[in-house]
Every structure is written in structure tokens, then in C-alpha cells.
Amino acid sequence: MDLDLLADCGRCSGLCCVAPAFARSADFALDKPAETPCPNLRVSVPGRPDAPCGIHGSLSERGFPGCVAYDCFGAGQRVTADWREGPGAARAAFDAFAVLRPLHEILWYLTEPLDDAPEDLRAEVARAASWVSGLTEGPLAGVDVASVRAEVGEVLGRVSAAVRGSSGPGHARADLVGRDLGSGRASRRALAGTTLRGALLMGADLRGVDLGRADLLGADLRGADLRGAALGQTLFLTGPQVAAARGDATTGLPDRVPRPSGWG
Ligand code: SF4
């Protein structure tokens, strides 16, 4: 299995700027219907390798931090149809992207380095990765993404519990919005090895916190302060989560998670 799970915008037709709908919010400065080009998109000719966003260098300042935090996990460059080539091609491109993008995200989780997981679980994860990778080869029309997500989520939950040495609820889906989680020496270690799956950590102060083998699958880190925090060993962290947070050169990240520009 040889998969590229990092976006290569130069090999994509800007699908993430066309296919999704945006609701005007703190993340997007305007409403945009689905399958409609964002007005900031500079439509280039098919195959032309450029950055098509006209405000690419100032997205956050112009009210589009949601675009900074978006990642297709390499799905965009897998779509062979080009939405700019007419309605039929557009339909094919949007339908393919709607399936490939979540499958690529699932593959990101399934390719997490898990050297400390039990061998039987690692084998199970490898089988699941092979299965999902096969689904991306098509046909995509019959793929039930919700079922795939549920099935893989169950496996990842067991892996997480085994690696962390705990199957308790931890802080899964906890509302930790704006909380100061980094004050005091003890609290800076308190989250290592816990589960923060789906936790709301928007604006939380995690400065200097050692998250150890914490499970961050689906945690909302928008605006969380990660300066000096150690996330290098965390489970299931993604580029979009990191891009939506605040960090600096002292923030530790897993090797495979891209360091946002501006973090030093
Ligand atoms: S603002 Fe730029 S990156 Fe965001 S959707 Fe529009 S064209 Fe794409």
C-alpha cells in the first residue's frame, strides 16, 4: 500500500474551494453553496500547477481561517475528473471527492505509527488499512462512508485503549472550551495518556502541557494555545487540527503532521 495522504494542491483543480458549502461564520467570511466556486478562486486551465486561491497568503486575516485548517488528506489529487470541463465532469469530480476525502482521512488514522500496540491489533489495523485503500480504487458509488467510519472507529478505539493502557471514558467529548489546562506542574502531565476523542478544546490553554499518548481523534483544537505543549506522541492528530490551533517553535508535533507556517 503506497498512499499519499498529504494534499498536493498543484495536482488538484481546487476541489476544496468548490465542492463544499460554507456557512458565513468565524471560519468563513461568506456563504457559499455546495458545488459552486468560491469567489476568491482563480480558475486556472486544467492541469496548470498553481495556487488557485487569490487570497492564499492572507486567508486568516481576510476571514477564512477555516480554509487554513482544511485538509483533503491527498484526496483532491486522486480525482481524475475535472469540474471545469463541463457538467458531466463536474458531477463525476464532486461525487468522487465526496467519497475519497473521508476515506483518505480514515486512512490517515489507520497509518498512525503504532509500534507500542499489541501485534494482533497492529495486524488488524493493517488489514483495515488495506481494505479502505482498496475502496479508494473504486468503484466509489457504492461505498457507505458512514459504515466504514464506524467499523474503523471501533478498531481504532481498541488500539487507543491498548496503547494508553486505559479503556475508561477519560475526557472523551468533554467540554473543555477555554479551560486553563496548563497551570501547575501536576496538571501539565494530567492529560498524558487520556482520551480526548471529540473533546471541545476551543480556546483552551494547553501551554506547556505534555499530552503524551493522549488520543486526540476528532478533538476540536480551534484557537487552543499549544505553545510549549508536547504532542509528539499523541494518537490520531491531524494537520487540520493543528492548523486551527496556536503554536510556536516549542510545540512538539508528531513527525508526520505538517508544522503550520508561522510556528517557527
Ligand atoms: S478563500 Fe481561497 S482557499 Fe478558501 S475556499 Fe476560497 S479560494 Fe479556496
Quick check: helix, strand or coil at residue 163?
helix
Q: 259: exposed, middle or buried (C-beta count within 10 Å: 0-12, 13-18, 19+)?
A: middle
How many angstroms separate the alpha carbon of residue 55 from the centre of ligand 1?
A: 7
Residue carrying C-alpha cell 494508553: 164
pLDDT of residue 254: 97
How far apart (Å, rounded) are the C-alpha atoms in residues 108 and 257?
A: 10
How far away, in angstroms, is 149 Cα from ligand 1 center?
Answer: 27
Distance from residue 14's CA to the centre of ligand 1 (Å): 9
Which pLDDT value is given to residue 167?
81
Question: For a pocket test of ligand 1, which of 44, 67, 71, 83 has the largest count of ligand atoms closer than 8 A to its C-beta?
Answer: 67
- Judge contact between 162 and 124, C-beta under 8 A: no
Q: Which domains, from first to last, does the chain contain?
A: 9-164 (no CATH), 169-264 (2.160.20.80)
Eight-state DSSP code of residue 258: P
Range 23-26 contact pairs with CB under 8 angstroms and sequence separation of 24 or more: 25/66, 26/65
- What pTM, to 2 d.p., does this model score? 0.92
Ligand 1 site, CB within 6 A = 17, 38, 40-41, 53, 55, 64, 67
Euclidean distance between CA atoms 231 and 228, whole angstroms: 9
DSSP 259: P
> In ligand 1, which atom is closest to the CA atom of 40?
7
pLDDT of residue 237: 98
pLDDT of the residue at 186: 58
Task: Report the nearest-CA residue for atom 1 of ligand 1.
Answer: 40
In this structure, the number of other CB atoms found within 10 A of the CB of residue 256 comes to 14
- Nearest Cα neighbor of 196 from 210, 214, 184, 213 is 214
pLDDT digits (tens), the chain, 264 positions: 557 899 988 888 899 999 999 999 999 999 999 999 999 988 765 655 455 788 988 999 999 999 998 999 999 999 999 998 999 999 999 999 999 999 999 999 999 999 999 999 999 999 999 999 999 998 999 999 999 999 999 999 999 999 999 888 899 999 999 999 987 765 677 899 999 999 999 999 999 999 999 999 999 999 999 999 999 999 999 999 999 999 999 999 999 999 998 897
Nearest to 194 by CA among 152, 226, 165: 165
Give the DSSP per-residue string, 5-38.
-S--GGGS--GGGTSS-B-SSSS-SS-B-TTS--
Q: At a CB cut-off of 8 Å and minimum separation 6, what does 2 contact? A: none
Q: How far is the CA of 155 from the centre of ligand 1 (A)?
A: 35
Contact assessment for residue 140 and residue 132, using Cβ atoms and an 8 Å cutoff: no
